[in-house]
Amino acid sequence: MEEELSGGDMLIRALQDEGVEYLFGYPGGAALHIYDAIFKQQKVQHILVRHEQAATHMADGYARATGKPGVVLVTSGPGATNAVTGIATAYMDSIPIIVISGQVPTDLIGTDAFQEADMVGISRPVVKHSFLVRDCAEIPATVKKAFHIATTGRPGPVVIDVPKDVTDPSNTAPYLYPESVELRSYKPAVRGNGRQMRKAVDALLKCKRPMIYSGGGVVQGNAGEALTRIAKRLNFPVTNTLMGLGAFPGEDDQFVGMLGMHGTFEANMAMHHSDLIFAIGVRFDDRVTNSPAKFCPDATIIHIDVDPASISKIIQADIPIVGQVESVLSDMDVILEAALEKSADLPDKAKLQDWWQRIGEWRAAHGLNHDMPLTESDVILPQQVIQSLYRTTQGSAYVTSDVGQHQMFAAQYYKFPVGRRWINSGGLGTMGFGLPAAMGVQFAFPEATVACVTGEGSFMMNMQELSTCLQYGLPIKMVCLNNQALGMVKQWQDMQYGGRLSQSTYSDSLPDFKTLVEAFGHIGFRIDKPQDLDAAMTEAFSPKLKDKTVFVDVWVDPHEHVYPMAIKGGSMQDMYLNKITTTQQGDYM
Amino acid sequence: MRRIIAVLLENEAGALSRVVGLFAQRNYNIESLNVAPTEDPTLSRVTLTTVCDDKKIEQITKHLNRLIDVVKVLDLFDAEYVERELMLIKIRAEGAVRDEVKRSCDVFRGQIIDVTHNTYTVQVTGPSDKLDAFIRAVGKTTILEVVRSGVSGISRGDKVLSV
Ligand SMILES: Cc1ncc(C[n+]2csc(CCOP(=O)(O)OP(=O)(O)O)c2C)c(N)n1
Ligand SMILES: [Mg+2]
């Protein structure tokens, strides 16, 4: 016998049946029937945030770290609109989250009712799909479809907008959670096309200057192992995008660092001079390619992606392969293994050796400086802070970040051994993402070390969540690279606007962050001398403070810029190497 | 280049707004759009015309396919097809002009579907360029109102767009 349930109870029951652990949310009028249903059960734990944007980032951080969808509940109107930035953030990075929004009662929709906002309309360009529930009987199937759509194919956010009358306890319907869904209009590809894969393997074996360019699709598609296996078999250099870090081990010799706007010299040079780009789960973002017309002039391009719309969108692929990255890489590895057995002299080892040597020369000439001594100056360099964090956590932390210079330093200097450890807003670049995302990760893995690398600007965009950290005892460790400025904005103004720092500094009005976090009931440190850095970092991550939320406010050199930096309008080999040198000047190599 | 795209769409609230929104969001232009349910009431058929190059049309069809409500997409230019559009046009018709409009109507196989002492309302069907030609033909008279349905298109021969 099917049970008769109200819409509110059904919604929560459906989440239970989906195996949802946490619901990140904030109550309000249109969602109150649902909140009453939450009160009556224990299985789904509701996390009360302090701002709906943070709820979406928490769900997003949870999803990025676990691969499971994160779930959000907000009320209508302002609750829903506050969630939009987080939805867009998840959309741009293809992260599966489900956002349930209360809506005014059906008969008031369209009347400009109190707290009415057209959530389906407002969110439309930034969701994978959305539903407006018309009847409580539709709830189980709608929830099932929402989870299916969010988590399969190219993942993404799904909104379920639920008018208040639909969850009213006086309306009931039989509850049965569907076992599976069949959508005639939605059948994402899984396996790659055999002929294309054989063609790709052929190209891999014939090239002389290969580059594996892998991205967020490898992380989200859980294909790190498959990538590493094929990369090892071929002994090809690997570069990761900002979203792909960790998919290939950061400490591995074959890893040449991140590519793109702030990528390493050697990664960008090797891309530009490559004769074969093996692009996996990437989307040729403009922050990677620089000018598309000048992109990798000599390269054949193999491109694997689960989303056909990503292929040949910016850069024409010579060998496109549509399918799940993990499945395609595994199938290709089998084809490759067989091909290598037949012809042992492929790929051309000598040519590959030449290529590795060239990359080694690039790395030696202008690679990132990996041992910056802490004693040489009296100001802390931001890079040193990340190095200290890396040493202290032995590379094993989950690291979330906000957006700005600190984000790029973290991406450059923290080496991630596996995917899902580096969590940042790459596509939308949302300041305020770091802290709530770290909280989502900590909920998922209560025992893990979770660090948030932030800037004082970004931190202030969602710092109210320190209160949520206290409520749930989340031992996040925040490391703030405090340069007393909107550093990345300032860097552009220094470099492109003659140093006119329009609205990018505020050093006279910054709060004392140590006192601030103490007011929230947490532990604060303030460090401004290089010799104190390691000790403070060690203490912050010490067993003594294991259960504490800690904020390490590190005052860093406010004049430091992130380098390399792509020169706008150029190719990938056109970079600033520091404040005075560019690769366009004379014979840099 | 002008292209005609046929789309089978779930006949659901909000589905059409996703299609139209996609064009706005991705900066694709829509020249004409028509939509109505098919013989299967759960499906609508949309015909869209746009002007773009090959690379763009590929992106448009891929992004349309990505929409969950879109069941199938066909670029009619991929094979032989037939297109038709319906136009209703109200023309000031007085004195000698009445005969002139009638003659144009015959030439274009149009029908006069409403008459008053000083106006004709004419229905013309055919490919869009024929409708354009009719407008030019009666251009010397006073056109009071024009309503066009937008293009409907279908493949020739055995090829069908269905689920
Ligand atoms: C919500 C939002 N607003 C504006 C920006 C533009 N922006 C990018 S980086 C940046 C400065 C960030 O400052 P901070 O967090 O202190 O980091 P820093 O660059 O100084 O390390 C700004 C304003 C953004 N990315 N997100
Ligand atoms: Mg700053």
Question: Residue A467 is encoded by which pair of tokens?
Answer: 């209160």
Distance in Å, CA A380 to ligand 2 centroid? 14
Q: Is A561 in the pocket of ligand 1 (CB under 6 A)?
A: no
What is the pLDDT averaged over residues A437-454?
A: 98
Interchain CB distance below 8 Å, A309 and B163: no
The predicted-structure confidence for A399-425, as pLDDT tens digits, reads as follows: 999 999 999 999 999 999 999 999 999
What's the rounded Cα separation, in Å, for the pair B136 and B130?
Answer: 10
The predicted-structure confidence for B68-95, as pLDDT tens digits, reads as follows: 999 999 999 989 999 999 999 999 999 9
Question: Residue A494 is encoded by which pair of tokens?
Answer: 């220094």
Q: What single-letter amino acid sits at A336? A: L
The predicted-structure confidence for A100-115, as pLDDT tens digits, reads as follows: 999 999 999 999 999 9
Residues of B within 8 A of A130 (CB-CB) are: 14
Q: Which of A92, A94, A123, A185 to mutate to test the interface with B (most CBs of B within 10 A)?
A: A185
* Phi, psi dihedral angles at B119 (to 5 degrees): -135, 155
Q: Is A83 in the pocket of ligand 1 (CB under 6 A)?
A: no
Residue A377: predicted pLDDT: 81
Beta-strand pair B81-92/B111-115: unpaired
The predicted-structure confidence for B120-139, as pLDDT tens digits, reads as follows: 999 999 999 999 999 999 98
Alpha helices in A67-134 (DSSP H): 78-92, 119-123
The predicted-structure confidence for A522-561, as pLDDT tens digits, reads as follows: 999 999 999 999 999 999 999 999 999 999 999 999 999 9
Residue A131 has pLDDT above 80, yes or no: yes
Residues of A within 8 A of B10 (CB-CB) are: 185
Select from A489, A507, A565 the residue to mutate for testing ligand 1; criterion: most ligand atoms less than 8 Å from CB.
A489
Q: Nearest C-alpha to atom 2 of ligand 1 is from which residue?
A: A431
Partner A contacted by B163 (CB < 8 A): yes
Alpha helices in A403-529 (DSSP H): 405-413, 434-444, 456-459, 466-472, 487-496, 513-519
* Phi, psi dihedral angles at B114 (to 5 degrees): -155, 140
Q: Is A402 in the pocket of ligand 1 (CB under 6 A)?
A: yes
Of B17, B66, B69, which is closest to A309 when you measure between CB atoms?
B66
What's the rounded Cα separation, in Å, for the pair A345 and A349?
Answer: 7
Question: Residue A166 is encoded by which pair of tokens?
Answer: 């639909």
Residues of A with a catalytic annotation lie at 52, 114-115, 164, 488
What is the pLDDT averaged over residues B146-152?
A: 97
Closest ligand 1 atom number to CA of residue A402:
15
Interchain CB distance below 8 Å, B59 and A132: no
* Nearest listed ligand to the Cα of residue A402: 1
| Residue A589 banded pLDDT, cuts 50, 70, 90 | low
Residue A1: predicted pLDDT: 62
Q: Nearest C-alpha to atom 1 of ligand 1 is from which residue?
A: A431
The closest of A126, A352, A84, A122 to A233, measured between CA atoms, is: A352
**How many CA atoms lie within 13 Å of A47's alpha carbon, on the beta-carbon side?**
33
Closest ligand 1 atom number to CA of residue A409:
21
Cα angle: A531, vertex A551, A487; to 5 degrees: 75
Task: Kindly provide the b/e burial profile for residues A14-50, where b requires at least 16 CB atoms within 10 angstroms of the residue's own CB.
Answer: bbebbebbbbbbbbbebbebbbbbbeeeeebebbebb
Residue A587: predicted pLDDT: 62
What's the rounded Cα separation, in Å, for the pair B4 and B7?
Answer: 10
The predicted-structure confidence for A318-350, as pLDDT tens digits, reads as follows: 999 999 999 999 999 999 999 999 887 788 889
Low-confidence winner among A364-373, A387-396, B97-106 (lowest mean pLDDT): A364-373
- E strand segments, A104-187: 129-132, 158-163, 172-175
Interchain CB distance below 8 Å, B13 and A132: yes
Provide the sign of the torsion angle of the four alpha carbons A317, A323, A326, A331, taken in this order. negative
Q: Which of B40, B42, B61, B62 to mutate to test the interface with A (most CBs of A within 10 A)?
A: B62
What's the rounded Cα separation, in Å, for the pair A135 and A137?
Answer: 5
CA distance A162 to chain B (A): 15
Q: B36 exposed, middle or buried (CB, 10 Å; 0-12, 13-18, 19+)?
A: exposed
Q: Is A431 in the pocket of ligand 1 (CB under 6 A)?
A: yes
The closest of A310, A461, A47 to B65, measured between CA atoms, is: A310
What single string gives the DSSP state of each residue in A338-365?
HHHHH-TT-S-HHHHHHHHHHHHHHHHH
What is the pLDDT averaged over residues A134-146?
A: 97
Residues of A within 8 A of B14 (CB-CB) are: 120, 130, 132
Q: Nearest C-alpha to atom 4 of ligand 1 is from which residue?
A: A431
Of B58, B66, B71, which is closest to A184 when you measure between CB atoms?
B71
Distance in Å, CA A404 to ligand 1 centroid? 5
Interchain CB distance below 8 Å, A125 and B21: yes
Helix (H) or strand (E) run with residue A149 in it: helix A139-151
Per-window interface: B 37-56 vs A, CB < 8 A: 55
**pTM for this one?**
0.96
Mean pLDDT, chain A, whole residue set: 96
Chain center to CA of A14: 28
* Phi, psi dihedral angles at B152 (to 5 degrees): -110, 140
Provide the sign of the torsion angle of the four alpha carbons A141, A143, A145, A148, taken in this order. negative
Residue A375: predicted pLDDT: 72
Percent of chain B residues topping a pLDDT of 70: 100
Q: Is A167 in the pocket of ligand 1 (CB under 6 A)?
A: no
The closest of A397, A400, A410, A409 to A431, measured between CA atoms, is: A400
Question: Residue A373 is encoded by which pair of tokens?
Answer: 């001594």
Percent of chain A residues topping a pLDDT of 70: 99
Q: Is A430 in the pocket of ligand 1 (CB under 6 A)?
A: yes
Residue A2: predicted pLDDT: 78
